[in-house]
């Protein structure tokens, strides 16, 4: 039997388990494209899910303009009363997912209720972007804004620990800090550190 050359369905078996076909793509993209499809595919998804994901990569980019807007400080602007979309203003495109999330596999989003953290700009209805941690291996640092459960009540607080005393501080003087000593029977578990907050209700 002749060796070498292309043989249909030969070589590495890709995990989606379908017959393979030849597709014309630039040589420089071929291996990388196959590897990317292999990595993003999730069991149970069909081909259209992958295609939709590829289109979403383009659609999720938004224009970021290279001029500041004043909120009390003097800031010269190139906008000049025109619409940014009219063109002629320096800008680039950013993907908000990439800009806000450093570690997608360990990131989750939670919504906020209550006003105990308004002093640092976390308001009811906001979304918090949280990096999941294993607090036994990666304990939070003093001053971290954390998602923490105390006796099964999940909350967002500012974390402080001195010796064996944990203090969960609010950022609103109407809310008292929660102090948990070594002798306390309270069950405390820190599940993540807040990395960003998205304001959804102005």
Higher-confidence position of 67 and 122: 122
Nearest Cα residue to 170 out of 158, 180, 188: 158
pLDDT above 50 for 1: no
pLDDT of res. 128: 97
Considering only CA atoms, give the Rg of the chain.
25
List CB contacts of 93: < 8 A, sequence separation 6 or more: 61, 62, 63, 64
Q: What is the mean pLDDT of residues 77-91?
A: 59
pLDDT above 80 for 84: no
For residues 126 and 200, the answer to whether their CB atoms sit within 8 Å is yes
CATH number belonging to the domain at 104-198, selected among 3.20.20.10, 2.10.109.10, 3.40.225.10, 2.40.30.40: 2.10.109.10
Nearest Cα residue to 189 out of 158, 161, 155, 150: 150
Q: Counting beta carbons within 10 angstroms of the beta carbon of residue 15, is it exposed (0 to 12), middle (13 to 18) or buried (19 or more)? A: exposed
125: number of CA atoms within 13 Å, CB side? 4
Phi, psi angles (nearest 5°) of residue 31: -65, -40
Q: Helix 47-59 to helix 27-40 angle, to the nearest 10 degrees? A: 110
For residues 130 and 148, the answer to whether their CB atoms sit within 8 Å is no
**CA dist., res. 135 & res. 24, Å (int):** 48
33-76 pLDDT per residue, tens: 878 777 777 666 677 777 777 777 666 778 887 777 778 766 55
Domain ranges for the chain, please list them.
27-59, 61-100, 104-198
pLDDT of res. 122: 96
Q: What is the mean pLDDT of residues 147-173?
A: 95
**Two tokens at 72?**
């009390």
User: Quick one: how far is CA 87 from the chain centroid?
Assistant: 30
């Amino acid at each position: 039997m002749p060796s070498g050359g292309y043989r249909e369905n030969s070589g590495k078996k890709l995990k989606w388990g379908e017959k393979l076909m030849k597709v014309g793509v630039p040589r420089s993209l071929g291996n990388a494209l196959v590897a990317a499809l292999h990595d993003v595919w999730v069991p149970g998804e069909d081909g259209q899910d992958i295609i939709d994901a590829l289109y979403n990569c383009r659609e999720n980019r938004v224009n970021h303009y290279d001029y500041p807007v004043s909120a009390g400080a003097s800031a010269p602007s190139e906008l000049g009363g025109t619409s940014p979309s009219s063109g002629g203003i320096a800008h680039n495109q950013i993907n908000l997912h990439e800009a806000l999330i450093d570690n997608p596999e360990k990131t989750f989003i939670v919504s906020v209720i209550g006003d105990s953290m308004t002093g640092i700009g976390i308001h009811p209805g906001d979304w918090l972007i949280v990096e999941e941690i294993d607090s036994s291996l990666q304990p939070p640092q003093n001053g971290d804004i954390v998602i923490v459960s105390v006796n099964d009540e999940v909350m967002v607080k500012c974390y402080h620990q001195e010796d064996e005393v944990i203090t969960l501080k609010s950022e609103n003087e109407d809310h008292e800090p929660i102090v948990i000593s070594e002798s306390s029977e309270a069950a405390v578990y820190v599940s993540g550190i807040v990395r960003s907050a998205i304001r959804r209700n102005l």
